[in-house]
Amino acid sequence: MKLPFPLLPPNASTVATEVDILYWFITAISAFFVVLVAALVVIFTIKYRRRHEDEVGADIHGSLVAELTWTFIPLVLSLLMFFWGADLAFRLARPPVDAMEIFVVGKQWMWKIQHPDGTREINQMHVPAGRNIRLTMGSEDVIHDYSIPAFRVKMDVVPGKLTTLWFNATTPGTYHLFCAEYCGTNHSGMIGEVIVMEPQAYEAWLSGATGGPAVPPAQAGEQLFAANACATCHSGQPGAIGPNLGGLAGAAVTLTDGRTVVADDNYLRESIMVPLAKVVAGYQPVMPPFQGLLSEEQVMQLLAYIKSLKPAGPAAH
Amino acid sequence: MSDVSQPRNSYLDAPYGLASWLLTKDHKRIAMLYLISITIFFAIGGLFAAGIRLELLTPQGDLWTSDLYNKLFTLHGVVMIFFFLVPSIPATLGNFLMPIMIGAKDLAFPRINLISWYLYIIGATVTLAAVFTGGLDTGWTFYTPYSSVSSQTAVTTAAIGVFITGFSSILTGLNFIVTTHRMRAPGMTWFRLPLFVWSNYATSLVMILGTPVIAITVLLVAAERALGLGFFDPARGGDPVLFQHLFWFYSHPAVYIMILPGMGVISELVAAMARKQVFGYSFVAFSSLAIAILGFLVWGHHLFVSSQSIYAGLVFSIITMLVAIPSAVKTFNWTATLYRGSISWQSPTWWVVGFMGLFTIGGLTGVFLGTLGLNIHLTDTYFVVAHFHYIMVGGAIMAYMGGLHFWWPKMTGRMFSDAGSKTSAVLVFVGFNLTFFPQFVLGFMGMPRRYHAYPDEWQVLNVLSSCGAGVLALGYALPLVYLTYSLFRGAAAPANPWGAKGLEWTIPSPPTTYNFEAEVRVDEPAYNYKSTREVHVG
């Protein structure tokens, strides 16, 4: 029998089934305890109902065995759920290294998407099935949240930093995309569609998607790098005012205060927007901040460009 | 059942006049002032909820504008949490009963008790002023930078209102703690205390330790908004996620401020209605403290998808699992208390049975949300909405209603319609499940919270939910009728209408101003039913 309305979400990613199995496992345990407590309460209330006015209950004070039993059993079950859920969460949190990167920018009240070849779309995200996809996400204003229930994934999109989300879609089709963190007037209109396509169909869609020629993000980043005269200091030459950016992404960096940090997306972003927050050892704190001058999208493009640089630096690119 | 005639000078009658109420230092009168105030705010919060459920009858978002809808759910949350749920049981039943249950004439600081009511009223008035001067659309969670930079509504005014109200809560907590330590009658040792006192004591610890943090946090939001200081706005060097840490450091423990007193009420009601010692008294007592302490260490489970480190998430997830244990222990102990009890089928039992079912579902669905990998799919959806309503409405308000009926004869000196109370309990139970169970299903399908419009395929479940809200409203409106009626026409209540143990049942209904005419001396444990009755069950 098929109901005229759904009671379950579509299952369209590799993790969806894993999440669902955990969900139904906890549901089964919960149902058992709800039925147990409800049945006991109802049975006791009926069986031990007061039969005459002066009656009192049996003189029972407690039982250590009982207390330990109903402490220990829930403890074991909840720890099982914890480890199961933690294991799943680690896999959800760590994008595979081979993932294709798509940029997402949230702003009141729309989602802007950019594909690796530079193709853009708004409130729609076309993705190929069967491929690991990592979203790098930023916000232009308040906190949003990129939620795709059919994939069982969601992640906040937070101003002032970049966040990531990954999935591997299994089933071609059209699925809901929601903003799941309240963001003001048109929050419930900040929605869209995720369209999962067969890989060939996705390639075909890319080639015919936009009117003008698409500029890949790294190339757009290179243009920004030139337009903002970044190479004046980040020339890659010995004795340059700023550090060499070639091979920087993902490397360990020593700061003036002696700390060592990994130059991940958020470090690079911060070093562009608020450069004086973490200055590399051996350099003067002279870089001007670009906060307010660059959009999140432009920062993502600059990051793509910086990641594309060979260790020799911009000059050799 | 002992038959005590109406006292000539009950606290209600001596002295007369409005000024004697507004300047009273009697904890019982202050409890009644709170009772009237929170009932008004419950009704206001309920009206906002009605606005939400009416809009969600259709998927299009066609009844109100988006801005009005956003204000409705925000104000529903703000009013229900800060002006109804947080003060509900402690400030009414707690205020009335804490001194009596320990054999004291009043709370330790009667004047501070009155001040706390005035602070509540001032805070509530300021917040209502925000409603009429632009409203509030940030959600009750005030997340930054939306609240501090983006929202066009009266955030600063509302923040000040919440700030002031916080002090009311702090003062009540302070009063309860000192009272419990210093005012116990001779012989009223810690392990003879009624469990309602234990749970209010634990609640008070949370109130005085947590509330200052929310007060400071909303003040920081107001400062960022009004003075342009950068705390949470990344454009000014702030960190928006820092706000969430500060906010939930109070607001998660605040959940326990709302439910712990309810647990105390249930412990009392289970014992009285089954005429039996609470099973595992010390486990129930200490589980309240365990909840209060562990409750401070789980705030990060609200931040699993906020970009918080996954390692922090791990720690918060496992402590969340641990905090579920004392709640489970309580539930099993209450159930075991019913075993071989002498269970009355009068109406307080009906509220207790409803509580047991709803609270168990509420608690277990919290485990779903505490599970890291599952939280990601469920958080920010209607699953969360359903979960916390099962705890706060199904748990805390069920307990509040049960307690209100149970102690109503003591507080007012009048009996109420038992049939009315049973009808109300059934309506609330049925209406509540109809309203909120479909929301678990909607949440698992991914329907986000705070959505003015939603996809068409979810309409059927939303209509069910809205219909349930209608039944629920009826269930809450009914007591207004028969309880008000009982005030004027109800039969005079005897001192101990339920045949229950506890000091409050040894004094007249309603009590005299100083509660006890003679010095109180306690020489038996709480719920010592075996000492007084002849007939025992099997």
Domain spans of chain A? 9-41+65-214, 217-316
A89/B453 CB distance under 8 A: no
Q: Average pLDDT, stretch B345-374?
A: 96
pLDDT higher than threshold 90 for residue B2: no
Average pLDDT in chain B = 94
> pLDDT value at position A207?
85
**CA torsion sign, B378 to B382 to B385 to B390?**
negative
pLDDT > 90: percent of chain A: 86
Topology (CATH level 3) of domain A217-316? Cytochrome Bc1 Complex; Chain D, domain 2 (1.10.760)
Q: What is the 3-state secondary structure (H, E, C) of A278-304?
A: CCECCCCCCCCCCCCCCCHHHHHHHHH
Our CA-based measurement puts residue B340 at a distance from the nearest CA of chain A, in whole angstroms, of: 6
> pLDDT value at position A165?
96
A89/B377 CB distance under 8 A: no
Our CA-based measurement puts residue B360 at a distance from the nearest CA of chain A, in whole angstroms, of: 6
> pLDDT value at position A182?
97
For residue B319, CA distances in Å to A27, A89, A133, B301, B376 come to 20, 16, 32, 9, 17
**If we measure between CA atoms, which residue out of B357, B358, B352, B379 comes closest to residue B368?**
B379
pLDDT higher than threshold 80 for residue B81: yes
pLDDT higher than threshold 80 for residue B1: no
Query: How many CA atoms, within 13 angstroms, populate the side-chain half-sphere of residue A175?
Result: 29
Across B153-246, where does the E strand assignment appear?
none
| pLDDT one-digit tens code per residue, B172-229 | 999 999 999 999 999 999 999 999 999 999 999 999 999 999 999 999 999 999 999 9
A160/B239 CB distance under 8 A: yes
The DSSP H or E segment spanning A276 is none
| pLDDT one-digit tens code per residue, A104-137 | 999 999 999 999 999 999 999 999 999 999 999 9
For residue B336, CA distances in Å to A252, B272, B323 come to 59, 14, 21
Domain boundaries, chain B: 20-513
pLDDT higher than threshold 80 for residue B536: no
* ipTM for the predicted complex: 0.94
Distance in angstroms (rounded) separating the CA atoms of residues B163 and B144: 17
Please give the backbone phi and psi of residue B527, each rounded to the nearest 5 degrees, phi first: 60, 40
For residue B67, CA distances in Å to A108, A290, B134 come to 14, 34, 11
pLDDT higher than threshold 90 for residue B126: yes
The minimal CB distance from A81 to the residues B281, B365, B371 is found for: B371
Our CA-based measurement puts residue A239 at a distance from the nearest CA of chain B, in whole angstroms, of: 31
Q: Average pLDDT, stretch B17-25?
A: 92
From the candidates A2, A63, A72, A143, which should be mutated to test the interface with B, based on the most B CB atoms within 10 A? A143
Structure tokens at A28: 């089964």
From the candidates B144, B380, B381, B532, which should be mutated to test the interface with A, based on the most A CB atoms within 10 A? B380
Distance in angstroms (rounded) separating the CA atoms of residues B413 and B489: 11
> pLDDT value at position A237?
85
Strands A173-179 and A192-197: antiparallel
Our CA-based measurement puts residue A146 at a distance from the nearest CA of chain B, in whole angstroms, of: 10
For A9-41+65-214, the fitting CATH number among 2.60.40.420, 2.40.10.480, 1.20.810.10, 2.60.120.10 is: 2.60.40.420
Which pLDDT band, with edges at 50, 70 and 90, does A239 fall under? confident
Give the chain A residue nearest B364 (alpha carbons).
A30
Average pLDDT in chain A = 92
| pLDDT one-digit tens code per residue, A37-61 | 999 999 999 999 999 988 999 999 9
Distance in angstroms (rounded) separating the CA atoms of residues B180 and B97: 12
Q: Average pLDDT, stretch B17-35?
A: 94
pLDDT higher than threshold 90 for residue A177: yes
> pLDDT value at position A211?
55
**CA torsion sign, A290 to A295 to A300 to A304?**
negative
B376/A154 CB distance under 8 A: yes
How many Cβ pairs closer than 8 A exist between chain A and B? 321
Distance in angstroms (rounded) separating the CA atoms of residues B379 and B248: 15
| pLDDT one-digit tens code per residue, B264-279 | 999 999 999 999 999 9
- Gyration radius from chain B CA atoms: 23
Domain B20-513 classification at class level? mainly alpha
pLDDT higher than threshold 60 for residue B533: no
Distance in angstroms (rounded) separating the CA atoms of residues A38 and A43: 8
From chain A, the residues in CB contact with B150 under 8 A are 108, 141-142, 184
CB B133 within 8 A of CB B156: no
Which pLDDT band, with edges at 50, 70 and 90, does B4 fall under? very low
- Gyration radius from chain A CA atoms: 27
Our CA-based measurement puts residue B4 at a distance from the nearest CA of chain A, in whole angstroms, of: 18
Which residues make beta-bridge pairs with A178?
A147
Which pLDDT band, with edges at 50, 70 and 90, does A214 fall under? confident
From chain B, the residues in CB contact with A86 under 8 A are 314, 317, 372-373
Comparing A194 with B531, the larger pLDDT belongs to A194
From the candidates A42, A52, A65, A78, which should be mutated to test the interface with B, based on the most B CB atoms within 10 A? A78
What is the number of helices (H) and of strands (E) in chain B?
17, 0
Distance in angstroms (rounded) separating the CA atoms of residues B12 and B516: 15
Structure tokens at B196: 């309602």
B361/A161 CB distance under 8 A: no
Can you tell me which residue has the tokens 């169909």?
Answer: A201
> pLDDT value at position A1?
58
Q: Which long-range contacts (C-beta less than 8 Å, at least 24 apart) are formed by A38-44?
A: A38/B356, A38/B357, A38/B360, A40/B335, A40/B338, A40/B339, A41/B335, A41/B338, A41/B353, A41/B356, A41/B357, A42/B353, A44/B335, A44/B338, A44/B339, A44/B341, A44/B343
For residue B511, CA distances in Å to B8, B445, B483 come to 10, 53, 19
Our CA-based measurement puts residue B81 at a distance from the nearest CA of chain A, in whole angstroms, of: 19
pLDDT higher than threshold 70 for residue B8: no
Amino acid at position B101, single letter: M
B275/A5 CB distance under 8 A: no
pLDDT higher than threshold 90 for residue B35: yes
Distance in angstroms (rounded) separating the CA atoms of residues B350 and B429: 10
For residue A106, the SS3 value is: strand
B145/A155 CB distance under 8 A: no
A154/B329 CB distance under 8 A: no
From chain B, the residues in CB contact with A53 under 8 A are 1, 499
Q: Average pLDDT, stretch A138-148?
A: 97
Give the chain B residue nearest A6 (alpha carbons).
B457
Comparing A10 with B536, the larger pLDDT belongs to A10
Instruction: Examine residue B15 and say whether the peptide bond preceding it is cis (omega within 30 degrees of 0).
Output: yes
pLDDT higher than threshold 60 for residue B3: no
From chain A, the residues in CB contact with B453 under 8 A are 188-189
B145/A143 CB distance under 8 A: yes
For residue B412, CA distances in Å to B397, B425, B492, B506 come to 20, 21, 9, 15
Our CA-based measurement puts residue B31 at a distance from the nearest CA of chain A, in whole angstroms, of: 31
Instruction: Examine residue B510 and say whether the peptide bond preceding it is cis (omega within 30 degrees of 0).
Output: yes
Amino acid at position A233, single letter: C
